[in-house]
Amino acid sequence: MNSKKYQAALFDMDGLLLDSESVYTNVTQHIVSEWGKTFDWEVKQHMIGRASIDSARFLVKTLDLPITGEEYLERRDPMLEEGFKSVPALLGAEALIRELHSKNIPISVATSSSRFFFNLKTAPHDWFSLFNAVVTSSHPEVKNAKPAPDIFLTAAKTLGMDPSDCLVFEDAPSGLTAAHAAGAGCVCVPDVMMPKAPYSNAELVISNLTEFNASEWF
């Protein structure tokens, strides 16, 4: 039983609420295969949850690609745009959001996606209208990407909450670091392929959102 009760919830989106990580993976593999390279979890585990340009530069350097991070993004983004139009929800995501909304728990999206990509991904999912706030990487107060705490501090502020009263939901180690840097608690739902060690200091680690018992935490 969890001892602390939280007052609000902040949600990452990619790989946590929506299965958009598979689109990133497929598009990235398509691009790097041009140079005979493989994009696997040895590389991806260091990229998820980070700013696009940071991830792109890491990828280019790690796989020794003959392009810059910026050039990689120029190739990638039009392909992502198409894939993001039909991204499915992950198990338990919609039900949890509806439950928290019904209990009048303030909820915010806090995603490293741009506002443009957020709109594309969420268009088929009407339950995103239940969020009290949406904070993306396009927000002017988000100066630094995860693992910096900016996005969670901004989301908490937008809800009118103290960060220490917020419970963050994340799938990425960088998001966990950002949540704790903001002073918030963090529930992690790692991809099955991710090593578990980076999540050792999370308040809770679960395999999908159906395992989360809201009444214990709020």
CA distance 108 to 168: 10
**Set 14, 40, 64, 77: catalytic member:** 14
Please indicate whether residue 14 is annotated as part of the active site.
yes
Please indicate whether residue 165 is annotated as part of the active site.
no
**Set 12, 19, 64, 150: catalytic member:** 12
CA distance 143 to 149: 10
Element (H or E) spanning 133, and its range?
A: strand 133-135
CA distance 72 to 79: 11
Say whether 139 sits in a helix, a strand or coil: coil
Using an 8 Å Cβ cutoff, are 167 and 209 in contact? no
DSSP at 18:
B
Instruction: With CA atoms as reference, report the closest residue to 171 among 143, 138, 136, 206.
Output: 206
Active site residues per annotation: 12, 14
